[in-house]
Amino acid sequence: MIYFDNSATTQAAPAVLETYTKVSQKIWGNPSSLHSFGENAFHLLEQSRQQIATLIGAKPNEIFFTSGGTEGDNWVVKGTAMEKRTFGKHLITTAVEHPAIHNSMEQLKELGFDVTYLPVDAEGRISAADLKAAIRPDTILVSTMAVNNEIGTIQPLLEVADVLKAYPKIHFHVDAVQGIGKGIQDLIMNDRVDFVTFSGHKFHAPRGIGFIYARQGRKLAPLMTGGGQESNWRSGTENLPAIAGMAKALRLLLTDEDQKVARERAIKQRIYDHIKTFPKVTIFSQPTAGFAPHILCFTINGVRGETIVHAFEDQGVYISTTSACSSKKHLASSTLMAMHVQENVATSAVRISLDENNTLAEADEFIKIFDKLYHKFSKINADA
């Protein structure tokens, strides 16, 4: 079995599950309880927070635990809207965001907010000039992803940061769900960013856990109100086993990050070099520094993405149509549509997404299977 769908989710690491289980069994007190049992849980919570903060170069009071990427994105967008609505009602994002951002924006539109979607170029990248032109006196948020989940484009975060330095009141949010552990932490945690979303299950932590970074001094209205956990920013009894597990997963992820990234890049390069030689293959992700090391998006012209996914699955290789979230809806890739790729091409796109456990041997195996399938598709589809 070859699992090349790590941008959809990753397998929880055994060491992480061990932590999860131990905490569930032994440190199951409520961190808010006064007795020593709760106290103990509280200390583990804070130690986890401290570890995560240190790993991403933040302070512990800048880390807030959430249920995952979708909550983080919803929170920053809607929390900013609620917090800053008296200052303005204009939000800026990109045309290629994850639905967690896109649909939050759309919801706010119905409530009277104004949203600008920045266009992208043929590689799926926004430009600082477009951003500059879009900023208005009533702009309260600029939200962009670090790495596109469908084709792997890295957005020019430092350029965005530079533009926004002239507008210190605007909240700058980065959705780093696909970006953590991919060798671009300097870009993500740049000196202007205010909020960053992270999701645990994309880096071998359990489901249902994530966190946001919120720069000290910046404020968000809470979406979850209640018992006042997380400094009253995000109520709800803390999911301590998952939080501790995530702290461990993040530490493991960032250990030898450079080597892992180089390995992923090498695998991607090998597959890229091979499939680019086929006339009916169109590749959307480049093997350059402007793209994440782990995502490769391509099509075999004329073959539906779904068909390709299932054909590979029959051979024991797990890939996906562009994003897991839209794959069951038979929708064309929204990123590719934003890049003005023709709809019939956009519907045939598939995505390989790697992680640090994949190997070059798997790449070779994939290549063999690819050749076989390409040949087969050519026969049944005269166009292909």
Partner 1 sequence: MQYTEIMVRYGELSTKGKNRRNFIDSLGRNVRKALHDFPELKVHANRDRMHIMLNGEDSAKVMDRLKLVFGIQNFSPSIRVDQDMDAVYKTAVEMVRAQYQPGMTFKINTRRSDHKFEYDTNEINDMLGGQILDHVDGIKVQMKHPDIVLRVEVRLNGIFLSSETIQGAGGLPVGTAGKGMLMLSGGIDSPVAGYLGMKRGVNMEMVHFFSPPYTSEQALAKAKQLASTLASYSGSVKFIQIPFTEIQEEIKEKVPEGYLMTVQRRLMMRLMDAITRKRNGKAIFNGESLGQVASQTMDSMIAINDVTTLPVLRPVISMDKTEIIKVAEDINTYDLSIMPFEDCCTIFAPPAPKTHPKLDRARAYEERIDVDGLMQRAMDGITITEIKPGENYMNAQEDVFAELL
Of the residues 33, 47, 255, 342, which one makes contact with partner 1 according to CB under 8 A: 47
Please report the DSSP string for 30-60 in residue order. Answer: -TT-SSHHHHHHHHHHHHHHHHHHHHHT--G
Q: What does the DSSP 8-state code read for residue 382?
A: T
Q: Which among 40-48, 101-109, 288-296, 349-357 is the span making contact with partner 1, rule CB under 8 A?
A: 40-48
Q: What is the rounded distance in angstroms from the CA atom of residue 180 to the CA atom of residue 199?
A: 9
* Chosen residue from 48, 139, 185, 239 binding partner 1 by CB under 8 A: 48
Q: How far is the CB of 19 from partner 1 (least distance, A)?
A: 5
Tokens of 259: 């080597």
In order of 274, 319, 351, the CA distances from 150 in angstroms are: 20, 12, 7
Segment near partner 1 (CB under 8 A), from 32-40, 198-206, 210-218, 281-289? 32-40
C-beta of 122: minimal distance to partner 1 in Å?
Answer: 35
Count of residues that bind partner 1 according to CB under 8 A = 16
Choosing from 251, 270, 280, 304, the residue that interacts with partner 1 (CB under 8 A) is: 251
Helix axis angle for 36-56 and 240-254, nearest 10°, is 30
* Six token digits for residue 67: 């249920």
Taking CB under 8 A as the criterion, which residues in 229-248 touch partner 1?
A: 244, 247-248
Which residue lies nearer to partner 1 by CB, 48 or 80?
48
Q: Which residues pair with 227 in a beta bridge?
A: none
Residues 50, 248: contact at Cβ < 8 Å? no
Enumerate the active-site residues. 325
Q: Nearer Cβ to partner 1, position 102 or 248?
A: 248
Least distance between partner 1 and beta carbon 184 (Å): 24
In the list 46, 106, 121, 138, the residue contacting partner 1 (rule: CB under 8 A) is 46
Q: Is 197 helix (H, G, I), strand (E, B) or coil?
A: strand
Q: How far is CA 151 from CA 61, 143, 325, 373, in A?
A: 34, 18, 14, 22
Is 271 among the residues that bind partner 1 (CB under 8 A)?
no
Residue placing its CB nearer to partner 1 in the complex, 125 or 248: 248
The C-alpha R_g of the chain, in whole angstroms, comes to 21
Q: Which one of residues 44, 105, 180, 341 is an interface residue with partner 1 (CB under 8 A)? A: 44
Q: Which is nearer to partner 1, 51 or 286 (CB)?
A: 51
**Binding track over 8-27 against partner 1, x by CB under 8 A:** -----------x--xx----
For 69-84, letters b (16+ CB in 10 Å) and e give: bbbbbbbbbbbbbebb
Distance of closest approach, residue 33 Cβ to partner 1, in angstroms = 12
Q: How far is the CB of 190 from partner 1 (least distance, A)?
A: 18
CA atoms within 13 A on the CB side of 280: 18
Nearer to partner 1 by Cβ, of 204 and 248: the residue is 248
Q: What is the nearest approach in angstroms of partner 1 to the Cβ of residue 11?
A: 20
Among all chains, which residue has been given the structure tokens 């790993």? 55
- Contact residue for partner 1 among 11, 28, 37, 43 (CB under 8 A): 43
> How deeply is 237 buried, as exposed, middle or buried, from its count of CB atoms within 10 A (0-12, 13-18, 19+)?
exposed
If the CB atoms of residues 46 and 256 are measured against partner 1, the closer one turns out to be 46
DSSP-derived 3-state class of residue 2: strand
Select 45 or 147, whichever has its Cβ closest to partner 1.
Answer: 45
**Given the rule CB under 8 A, which residues bind partner 1?**
19, 22-23, 36, 39-40, 43-44, 46-48, 51, 244, 247-248, 251
